[in-house]
Chains A and B, each alone.
Chain A
Amino acid sequence: MAKVIEGLFYAESHEYVKVEGDVAYIGITDYAQHALGNVVYVDMPEADDEFESEEGFGAVESVKAASDLNSPVSCKVIEVNEELEDQPELINQDPYANWILKVELTNKSELDNLMDAKAYEEFCAK
């Protein structure tokens, strides 16, 4: 059973947003890493890049498939998780601890469009 964490916001394309004050962390969910299998490469943007909600910001490649990463919310990148460059497998070990982007939210109201933990769990069960 895939792990879902209370308090995060979830997108239908299986990214999560973890909000801490004005900063947020974006990564892929446990359900997503499980479906992808062993992650071998994460294609990430650069600091200061800006994305609209649902815009592609990179891709995650596993032994099974390459999958686009979409930003669940509009944001500006503060930092990318450089550890993933050499150790993409960290995403498999703990996708919630190993976020992909640290961002500044540029339109906080968009969080309302995302699912909470309960809704996401039901979405995955479908």
Chain B
Amino acid sequence: MNNRLYGNLIFELSQPGCKAYSLPKNEFGNYELPSNLKREKDAELPECDELTVVRHYTNHSGNNFGVDNGFYPLGSCTMKYNPTINEEVAALPGFTSVHPMQPINTVQGALAVQYGLAKSLASISGLADFTVNPFAGAQGEFTGLMIIRSYHEKRGDTKRTKIIIPDSAHGTNPASAAVCGLDVVEVKSTADGLVDVEDLKPLLGDDIAGMMMTNPNTLGLFEKNIPEIAKLIHDCGGLMYYDGANLNPMLGVARPGDMGFDVMHINIHKTFSTPHGGGGPGGGPVGVRADLVEFLPKPHVLKTENGYELDAPEATAEYNLNNMHVGQFMGNFLISLRAYAYILTLGKENLKMVGPYATLNANYIKECLKDDYELPIEGICMHEFVFDGLKDKSTGVTTMDVAKRLLDYGYHAPTIYFPLLFHEAMMIEPTENESKRTLDGFIEIMHTIAREARETPQVVLDAPKNTPIGRVDDVLAATKPILNYRQSINQ
């Protein structure tokens, strides 16, 4: 419950002259700063006492909803539990107090983590090697595409300017490709929700740099024609890029490298249990097949007779600038460490159980709810699936309304209106962590909302009522956004 006063903006709580600090007595006399270093006007910072600051932020932290609060079936985001043991390991002083520029012989343990994670990911993915340097999935995607571009350029093959992306792809795929200077060519899905191989064939040619795919795709379906697709792309000289967003159901069961993928990234905050924290810090390791290892960003950890070393650390800045791998250096080390802790905690045998449980949970929800919700593609799904809104379209209740009503019942909403293949998409991914009791609770509430939509639709249309903020005006928010606190206070 948010306190009415302290739940206000920190700027609204500000009282001129109020201070939360006391400085010791000045024993050194006054020294004027040179005028060019002085502010022309005071910094407009909020002025509050310490207890007000603490109450303000503590109240706001209660408005958050995370995996630790309740069920979070946000499709394609793999909102799995972030094990506490990861945090314990990441808090060890030997890891928290290292500096990236320390002499190599003093950080052998940290380098062993980087090396071990890269090798584990390579083994899990069926690829030759990994870099753990990229800071997040999107940067990993960008790095992977730069590797594909560098590979073609090094061979003098400069015509390859196009990349093929399915219409069911995550939005980051075309975005990364565009930033990388590639033209996006869309390939359609069949009625079964898989890449249409016949639609793909006419797109192929010597201008294709590669193809980006997610498998299982965003509909939670395994791309059965993947060997044929990989052969078509390879035959025309392109490379296969695997978007690792949906790697979770395949862990230890099937490997992208074995399916014909040449380059991939992994979102470790999804598959390897690191936190999905407010935009960061993240990790987006990139793996490649053997002949592409030379294009991985530097520095790269090597294991030698004398221990762990970095290859060409002195050339890092120039190399990375030339290869546009700027800003990656050693990655978010403590995040890599959490992912490595997860892999070692589960071990090879238990990692194999992640996918089956995630798949079982998704199919259980799907089968229990398909009487009330429209299932556009029948059959067994993988770790997630998509409903096309309520089955009864006559109630006027949309997917948005169902999502809002779920908040009233203390659940996080699923991903909605994505993928774009269906108008009322509702994408549900329970992950392997949830117990049958949790799943049954969610199923019951989803049935309740469907019944409300039939009997008392206004209740659903007006939701949420139990949250700190009720139904927001999403049109006004998009057309006349309030972007800073001054605008907000003036309202």
Q: How many residues of A contact B (CB 8 A)?
A: 11
Expressed in whole angstroms, the minimum distance between the Cβ of A94 and any Cβ of chain B is 17
Residue numbers in A under 8 Å from B417 (CB-CB): 64-65
Chain B residue nearest in CB terms to A63: B474
Q: Does A88 contact B (CB under 8 A)?
A: yes
Q: Determine if A38 and B475 form an interchain contact, defined as CB atoms under 8 angstroms apart.
A: yes
Residue numbers in B under 8 Å from A38 (CB-CB): 474-475
Chain A residue nearest in CB terms to B420: A65
Chain B residue nearest in CB terms to A34: B423
Q: Determine if A41 and B478 form an interchain contact, defined as CB atoms under 8 angstroms apart.
A: yes
Q: Determine if A40 and B423 form an interchain contact, defined as CB atoms under 8 angstroms apart.
A: no
Q: Does B488 contact A (CB under 8 A)?
A: no
Q: Mark B109-137, 1 if CB is under 8 A from A, else 0.
A: 00000000000000000000000000000
Expressed in whole angstroms, the minimum distance between the Cβ of A18 and any Cβ of chain B is 25
Complex-state Cα separation, A61 to B417, whole angstroms: 13
Q: Does A89 contact B (CB under 8 A)?
A: yes
Q: Does A47 contact B (CB under 8 A)?
A: no
Expressed in whole angstroms, the minimum distance between the Cβ of B133 and any Cβ of chain A is 31
Q: Determine if A35 and B475 form an interchain contact, defined as CB atoms under 8 angstroms apart.
A: no
Q: Determine if B478 and A35 form an interchain contact, defined as CB atoms under 8 angstroms apart.
A: no
Residue numbers in A under 8 Å from B400 (CB-CB): 64
- Secondary structure at the B interface, as helix, strand, loop or mixed, is helix
The count of A-to-B residue pairs whose CB atoms sit within 8 angstroms is 20
Q: What class of interface size applies to chain B in its complex with A?
A: under 10
Q: Does B479 contact A (CB under 8 A)?
A: yes
Chain A residue nearest in CB terms to B171: A66
Residues A88 and B479 in contact in the complex (CB < 8 Å), given A63-B474, A64-B417, A65-B417: yes
Complex-state Cα separation, A61 to B420, whole angstroms: 13
Q: Mark B465-491, 1 if CB is under 8 A from A, else 0.
A: 000000000110011000000000000
Chain B residue nearest in CB terms to A87: B479
Q: Determine if A40 and B420 form an interchain contact, defined as CB atoms under 8 angstroms apart.
A: no
Expressed in whole angstroms, the minimum distance between the Cβ of B390 and any Cβ of chain A is 16
Expressed in whole angstroms, the minimum distance between the Cβ of A59 and any Cβ of chain B is 13
Binding site for B on A (CB under 8 A): 35, 38, 40-41, 61, 63-65, 67, 88-89
17 new A-B contacts, CB < 8 A, other than A35-B423, A63-B474, A63-B478, are A38-B474, A38-B475, A40-B475, A40-B478, A40-B479, A41-B478, A41-B479, A61-B478, A63-B475, A64-B400, A64-B417, A65-B417, A65-B418, A65-B420, A67-B420, A88-B479, A89-B475
- Could you show 9 A-B contacts with beta carbons less than 8 Å apart? A40-B478, A41-B478, A41-B479, A61-B478, A63-B474, A63-B475, A64-B400, A65-B417, A88-B479
